[in-house]
Structure 1
Amino acid sequence: MKYFRIPVVGLLGATLLLTGIQAASAHEAPGGAQAPLRTLADRADLRIGTAVDMAALADDTTYRRTTGREFNSVTAENVMKWEVVEPARGTYDWSGADALVRFARDRGQVVRGHTLVWHSQLPGWLTSGVADGSIDAAELRGILRKHVTTEVKRYRGQIQQWDVVNEVFEEDGSLRDSIWLQKLGLSYIADAFRWAHAADPKAKLFLNDYNVEGINAKSTAYYDLAKRLRAEGVPVQGFGAQGHLAIQYGFPGDVAANLDRFAKLGMQTAFTEVDVRMILPVDEEKPATQAAYFRGLLDACLGTRSCKSFTVWGFTDKYSWVPGVFEGQGAATLMDEGFGVKPAWGAVREGLAAGR
């Protein structure tokens, strides 16, 4: 997950005008007399979402309260992934996913389903069976069809958007050499969308990946794929740019133009997993740069009518995935470990208030 350096003077200059107000409230709890983020997002005709850590939701009152108050969309961080929902073949565990759907329903939130087909976080019985040859290509296709159909049907009418196929291209635009491509060929992508659509015709079905926020070889590969599949009648309805950025690599170029070209195909667009990490320790300048990056993605979304949702991948550093994956990096979310808001929170708030 790397970006080349691209000048961001204009973006930073515009956003730094906000930081005086943001800094003054950096350690105040959100909410109170202020309207929640979700209220501002409603006015802007946008879903503002967060990935949800279900253990934190159960055990941390502040996390639970903030999740319900500030966001009108939620995504399962892990509990809808295949290794969780079918840990043993034919044995399902829907408890975490069901709990999230109930939580969202009770709070008037929509749910993004994440993710149906991915090369990672697959159940061990599946990967070992493919590896030792006990699951051949024909059986694997049937297993994939059953998985997609079973999960989507279970939540039919309860999921607004599904990340159907996740992270299928490499940085140079070549197809990822996953077990799906190796055993089933390229047709697995179209098949997955058709199966998901048959299981829930009303859910919007997305391609999803990282490092595709701007125009580059990888996002162009997705554009070409989406254009071809849609011409063939495959129900590819959305393009999700994850938005895992890092301030040391510069802001991606041509974000608005990238969203616009997918919109011209008749597709919805979304930012699906936004966070902005930095090399630790935090200093006085890094939070302002981070705020500019969050605002840059949000403004691109708000400026594109097809962009219907903006989801952060967790909202507090207390539960962020970043330090466990990127050594020496972190502080990637809108709030610190004590739930104090950062300049990035203020930047998102200001952007939502400005609207479309």
Structure 2
Amino acid sequence: MARANVSQLTPEWEMKMEYILADGLDRPNFDRSDRIAAFARAEAMAMHGHTLIWYAQGKEAFAGLSGAAFDRAFDGYIATVAGRYRGKVRSWDVVNEPILDDGSGMRDCHWSARYGHDGYILRAFEKARIADPDAVLFLNEYNQESVPAKGAQFLKLVERLLKAGCPLQGLGLQSHLWIDIPDGVIAAYVREISQFGLPIHVSELDCTLRTENRLDLRSQADRIAAQGARVTELASAFAALPKAQQFAFTVWGLRDTDSWYRQGDKDDGKDKPLPFDSFGRPNPMAAAIAAGFETPA
């Protein structure tokens, strides 16, 4: 399926710090990420590195480190990972998800405790630029296009980083959508974020049919129609961007059964968050993506 439908790969887990440093800072594990990189190269696919620094990972590996030792480990990790894939990846998510869910501010984490909320981001981008001068460096976040306060916080962060001289070169919209996002909100945000003139990566697209409303009695067909409207709106808004800003349009998996929404005991077997079903047949979401690219906003 990937060979027929994909021109760029993003490892979902294998390049994250929790996997690479599972055995500790002194024993990084690149077995799976190396295999993915080799596959991408053999199939003439681009590769997007995901992710160097994430608030949710690294605390255990860095436990007990402070001061200069923490700095050496932080800088060294980025140099080792980004340096290993220099020339093999097109781009990196340098920092992932720095903003609180409600958009009220920046997340506190082990990185910000040492360098400050903006400081750890600046340091990560600076070290990534040194390690891989040719890669496009992205800041990646979710729910900007669907939670107005979070979108506003993201825009403010980008402004601060650019003003501080951060080598930030691209903006990642994860686009984990849901069917009840109001009409027009996604397109409006894409237009707003495009004003920076930076490349935009729809980096982790999926769209669940689930809602948190237990009294939602819509049929499966109605849910799929709502999903199609949201996905088409996103694809159309992306296709309307200047070509130089259309970096990539990435889905977070191909088949429904591969999705994180279909894992665990909450899976009822009915969600269809991705473009293909478990047999590799196109879902309505595939048509929704195509429709968006055929009719840019």
Q: TM over 0.5: same fold?
A: yes
C-alpha distance in 2 between matches for 1:354 and 1:168? 33
| Aligned counterpart, 1:332 | 273
- Deviation per CA, 1:197-239: give whole Å up to 9, x if none: 1111111111111111257221222212212221222101111
Secondary structure of residue in 2 paired with 1:299 = helix
Question: Which has the higher mean CA deviation after the structures are superposed, 137-146 or 256-265?
Answer: 256-265
| Aligned counterpart, 1:80 | 15
Tell me, yes or no, if the aligned pair for 1:173 and 1:219 is still in contact at 8 Å: no
Gap change, CA 1:160 and 1:318, over 3 Å in 2: same
Gap change, CA 1:141 and 1:258, over 3 Å in 2: farther
Gap change, CA 1:349 and 1:265, over 3 Å in 2: closer
Tell me, yes or no, if the aligned pair for 2:194 and 2:200 is still in contact at 8 Å: yes
Residue 295 in structure 1 maps to residue 232 in structure 2: yes
Residue 102 in structure 1 maps to residue 38 in structure 2: yes
Moved over 4 A (4+): 353-356
Secondary structure of residue in 2 paired with 1:276 = strand
Tell me, yes or no, if the aligned pair for 1:80 and 1:113 is still in contact at 8 Å: yes
| Aligned counterpart, 1:149 | 79
C-alpha distance in 2 between matches for 1:119 and 1:150? 19
Gap change, CA 1:344 and 1:222, over 3 Å in 2: same
Structure 2: stretches of 5+ with no match in the other structure: 212-217
- Deviation per CA, 1:37-60: give whole Å up to 9, x if none: xxxxxxxxxxxxxxxxxxxxxxxx
| Aligned counterpart, 1:307 | 246
The amino acid of 1:145's aligned partner reads D
Q: CA deviation at 1:124?
A: 3.5
The amino acid of 2:257's aligned partner reads K
Gap change, CA 1:138 and 1:221, over 3 Å in 2: farther
Tell me, yes or no, if the aligned pair for 2:276 and 2:283 is still in contact at 8 Å: yes
TM-score normalised by length of structure 2:
0.88
Residue 163 in structure 1 maps to residue 102 in structure 2: no
| Aligned counterpart, 1:200 | 132
| Aligned counterpart, 1:267 | 198
Match of 2:259 among 289, 308, 320: 320
Gap change, CA 1:252 and 1:175, over 3 Å in 2: farther
Secondary structure of residue in 2 paired with 1:295 = helix
C-alpha distance in 1 between matches for 2:224 and 2:129? 41
Q: CA deviation at 1:349?
A: 2.6
Match of 1:227 among 136, 155, 159: 159
Tell me, yes or no, if the aligned pair for 1:256 and 1:303 is still in contact at 8 Å: no
| Aligned counterpart, 2:223 | 286
C-alpha distance in 2 between matches for 1:189 and 1:293? 31
Q: CA deviation at 1:303?
A: 0.8
Residue 69 in structure 1 maps to residue 18 in structure 2: no
Q: CA deviation at 1:162?
A: 0.8
Q: CA deviation at 1:268?
A: 1.1
| Aligned counterpart, 2:214 | none
- Deviation per CA, 1:43-79: give whole Å up to 9, x if none: xxxxxxxxxxxxxxxxxxxxxxx01110111100100
**Identity over aligned residues, as a percent?**
30
- Deviation per CA, 1:135-162: give whole Å up to 9, x if none: 1244223211111111111111221121
| Aligned counterpart, 1:22 | none
Gap change, CA 1:184 and 1:158, over 3 Å in 2: same
Match of 1:178 among 109, 118, 121: 109
Tell me, yes or no, if the aligned pair for 1:162 and 1:203 is still in contact at 8 Å: yes
Structure 1: stretches of 5+ with no match in the other structure: 1-65
C-alpha distance in 2 between matches for 1:354 and 1:266? 22
Secondary structure of residue in 2 paired with 1:285 = helix
C-alpha distance in 2 between matches for 1:147 and 1:346? 41
Secondary structure of residue in 2 paired with 1:164 = strand
Q: How many residues align?
A: 284
RMSD of aligned Cα (Å): 2.3
Q: CA deviation at 1:102?
A: 1.3
C-alpha distance in 1 between matches for 2:295 and 2:146? 23
The amino acid of 2:36's aligned partner reads L
